[in-house]
């Protein structure tokens, strides 16, 4: 099989081919390719599509995304094989090419998502392991475990600055959300719960939830630690004349929660809304105290 390494933005002819494949394998939403394939996120992420061809025909694809903010993190998506070439090792070959690219650039943790048992067997052969209570699979360079990765990646330290959310969080939010949290609800505005209690079905599908909220008139905010790693997220969702706030941090960075939520509150008060309220689960005393300090009504 011939393997082609295709940088973003995709050429029009290839984009048309891939769109047809992804509509067939995934769903009709790919009839119009997401913005990242046009190069709209080039400043935030490095994207490559690996394409396999047999006799000139498109046999399969793999999409590799590497975070520019945290280049040790990457994600695989759009792992697809044309129906005429299934069972021939297409996905394994293309994923191997993407893995080699990622690790040659210093990548450390590569994530992907699946609920397909056949695909899971392919990923297991490639060294991926399912993260607890999720459909997220991860491969750690050097053969490390998830616990070892979390312990080092989220090592306690000072929080950095809060910024308005962007595609820079597309990959970086995966380990933050996959890591078990003691509170049941992480963020009601985007329907997130802790993997300590509920299975997390999404991986590369996590960021689109935040993107949809922002495109709908709301916004989201990112807290990073002193090393630039994403350790917290907050959201402001506008429904008619009410702005509803929520958010969370990794447990080791709870000290940064007040400034994260205050940033969301300050943004909300500048919008044309009648009221700003906080959405907090009853089992989250840390978040309730942080919102109470901002003098917000808690729903």
Strands 136-140, 219-225: pairing kind: unpaired
pLDDT score recorded for residue 24: 96
pLDDT at 163 over 90: yes
Compute the mean pLDDT over every residue in the chain, rounded to the nearest whole number: 95
Phi/psi of residue 284, nearest 5 degrees = -125, 75
Task: Assign domain 157-298 to a CATH class.
Answer: alpha beta
Give bridge partners of residue 298 from the DSSP assignment: 278
Residue found by looking up tokens 């052969």 in the block: 125
Consecutive H or E run containing 103: helix 90-104
**Residue carrying structure tokens 């913005």:** 35
All CATH 3.40.630.30 domain ranges of the chain, comma separated, are: 2-149, 157-298
* Share of the chain residues as helix, strand and coil, in percent rounded to the nearest 5: 35, 30, 30
CA distance 285 to 185: 12
Q: What pLDDT, on the 0 to 100 scale, is given for residue 282?
A: 66
For 236, phi and psi rounded to 5 degrees?
-130, 110
Contacting residues for 20 by C-beta, under 8 A, at least 6 apart = none
Q: Tell me: pLDDT of 295 over 90.
A: no
Q: Does residue 228 have a pLDDT over 90?
A: yes
pLDDT 10s digits, 23-52: 999 999 999 999 999 999 999 999 999 999
pLDDT by residue (tens digit) across 120-129? 999 999 999 9
Q: Does the reported pTM lie above 0.75?
A: yes
Which of the four pLDDT bands, split at 50, 70 and 90, describes residue 144? confident
At the top level of CATH, which class does the domain 2-149 belong to? alpha beta
1: exposed, middle or buried (Cβ count in 10 Å: 0-12, 13-18, 19+): middle
């Amino acid at each position: 099989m011939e393997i082609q390494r295709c940088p973003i933005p995709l050429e029009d002819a290839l984009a048309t081919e891939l769109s047809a494949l992804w509509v067939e394998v995934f769903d009709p939403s790919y009839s119009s390719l997401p913005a990242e394939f046009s190069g709209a996120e080039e400043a935030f992420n490095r994207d490559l599509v690996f394409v396999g061809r047999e006799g000139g025909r498109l046999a399969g694809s793999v999409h590799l995304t590497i975070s520019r903010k945290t280049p040790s993190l990457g994600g695989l998506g759009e792992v697809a094989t044309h129906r005429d070439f299934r069972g021939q090792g297409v996905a394994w070959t293309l994923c191997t090419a993407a893995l080699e690219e990622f690790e040659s650039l210093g990548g450390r943790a590569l994530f992907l998502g699946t609920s397909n048992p056949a695909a899971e067997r392919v990923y297991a052969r490639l060294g991926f392991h399912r993260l607890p209570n999720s459909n997220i699979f991860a491969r750690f360079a050097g053969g490390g475990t998830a616990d070892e990765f979390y312990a080092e990646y989220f090592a306690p330290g000072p929080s950095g600055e809060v910024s308005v959310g962007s595609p820079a969080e597309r990959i970086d939010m995966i380990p933050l959300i996959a890591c078990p949290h003691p509170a049941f609800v992480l963020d009601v505005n985007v329907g997130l719960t802790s993997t300590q209690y509920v299975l997390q079905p999404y991986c590369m599908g996590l960021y689109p939830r935040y993107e949809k909220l922002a495109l709908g008139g709301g916004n989201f905010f990112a807290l990073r630690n002193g090393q630039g790693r994403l350790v917290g997220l907050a959201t402001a969702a506008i429904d008619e004349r009410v702005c509803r706030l929520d958010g969370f941090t990794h447990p080791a960075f709870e000290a940064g929660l007040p400034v994260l939520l205050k940033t969301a509150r300050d943004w909300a008060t500048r919008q044309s809304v009648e009221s700003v309220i906080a959405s907090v689960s009853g089992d989250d005393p840390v978040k309730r105290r942080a919102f109470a300090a901002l003098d917000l009504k808690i729903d």
